[in-house]
């Protein structure tokens, strides 16, 4: 009777749609390593954020996988009402935040993004206004010699950073993979797709579904990514990772 009850509950449509969204990894960590700066980029769109001057409420952020150099830009989209003025200062502070990030050493590489891109450490504004040995005891000719030397050794600096980053990623992967509970799907399986914040029915409140569908697995893309189609046979745009899917039982 216990097994029958479990099987019945597993096939309950409402139970499956309201099921808890697990944050446990469903696949091992796939490392992305770039051999030199600006070969591979990660891109993300953040928002909506508090409205800034120019009606800017979204931010596009791009990160170079090798040097961790970040490029970001704010842009606008007309929506809803104006928020508090002080909450809209993020767009004006964005260049300063990027400058601070580019001149801060990263744990993975042990270097600053600026040094991995340009081969030298940046002279921060405080070193210009307050005399230091680095800025006060150097001439223009000596600076040219030092710059040429840094350019000659930039490959060594980047190689050292690459080795350190590979070691760091191995440690991260070992820690991440200890919590993995592998889930796989086959072509033809029925699945539910996680409901995201921008597709969630806000009027339903706490009674909103956590999962939508069902969909059918049309093909396996690789690295636990799948192409889906609706029950009517229409293809769903882009591929979907197993993290955002769960098997549907009928």
Q: CA angle at residue 219 from 183 to 22, to 5 degrees?
A: 25
Q: Are strands 225-229 and 240-241 parallel, antiparallel or unpaired?
A: antiparallel
**How many domains is the chain built from?**
2
Residues of the chain with pLDDT under 70: 77-88, 127-128, 134-136, 198-205
pLDDT of residue 83: 64
pLDDT of residue 81: 41
pLDDT of residue 235: 92
pLDDT of residue 204: 65
Tokens (6 digits) for 82: 């104006």
Domain extent, residue 122, equals 41-177
User: Does a structural domain hold residue 152?
Assistant: yes
User: Does a structural domain hold residue 31?
Assistant: no
d(CA 230, CA 247): 14
- Residue 56 and residue 86 in contact, taking contact as beta carbons nearer than 8 Å: no
pLDDT of residue 48: 80
Q: How far is CA 121 from CA 3, 71, 77, 162, 239, in A?
A: 65, 18, 37, 18, 41
- Residue 65 and residue 43 in contact, taking contact as beta carbons nearer than 8 Å: no
Same domain? 14 vs 46: no
pLDDT of residue 134: 67
pLDDT of residue 82: 41
Same domain? 124 vs 89: yes
Please confirm whether the linkage preceding 48 is cis (ω < 30° from 0).
yes
pLDDT of residue 77: 55
Which 8-state DSSP code applies to residue 88? G
User: Does a structural domain hold residue 36?
Assistant: no
pLDDT of residue 1: 73
User: Does a structural domain hold residue 150?
Assistant: yes
pLDDT of residue 79: 39
d(CA 74, CA 171): 34
pLDDT of residue 16: 83
User: Does a structural domain hold residue 32?
Assistant: no
pLDDT of residue 30: 81
């Amino acid at each position: 009777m216990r097994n029958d009850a479990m099987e019945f509950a597993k096939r309950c449509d409402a139970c499956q749609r309201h099921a808890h969204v697990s944050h446990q990894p469903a696949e091992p960590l796939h490392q992305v390593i770039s051999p030199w700066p600006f070969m591979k980029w990660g891109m993300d769109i953040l928002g909506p954020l508090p409205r800034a001057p120019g009606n800017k409420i979204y931010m596009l952020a791009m990160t170079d996988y090798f040097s961790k150099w970040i490029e970001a830009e704010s842009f606008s989209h007309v929506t809803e009402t104006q928020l508090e003025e002080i909450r809209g200062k993020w767009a004006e502070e964005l260049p300063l935040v990027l400058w601070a990030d580019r001149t801060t050493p990263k744990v993975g590489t042990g270097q600053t993004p600026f040094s991995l891109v340009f081969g030298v450490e940046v002279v921060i504004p405080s070193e210009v206004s307050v005399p230091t040995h680095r800025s006060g005891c150097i001439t223009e000719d000596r600076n040219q010699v030092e710059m040429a030397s840094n350019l000659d050794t930039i490959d060594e600096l980047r190689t050292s950073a690459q080795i350190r980053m590979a070691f760091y990623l191995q440690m991260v992967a070992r820690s991440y993979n200890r919590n993995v509970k592998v889930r796989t799907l086959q072509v033809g399986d029925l699945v539910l797709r996680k409901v995201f914040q921008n597709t969630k029915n806000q009027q339903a409140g706490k009674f909103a579904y956590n999962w939508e569908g069902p969909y059918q697995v049309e093909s396996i893309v690789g690295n636990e990514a799948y192409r889906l189609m609706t029950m009517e046979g229409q293809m769903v745009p882009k591929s979907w990772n197993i993290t955002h899917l769960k098997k549907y039982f009928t």
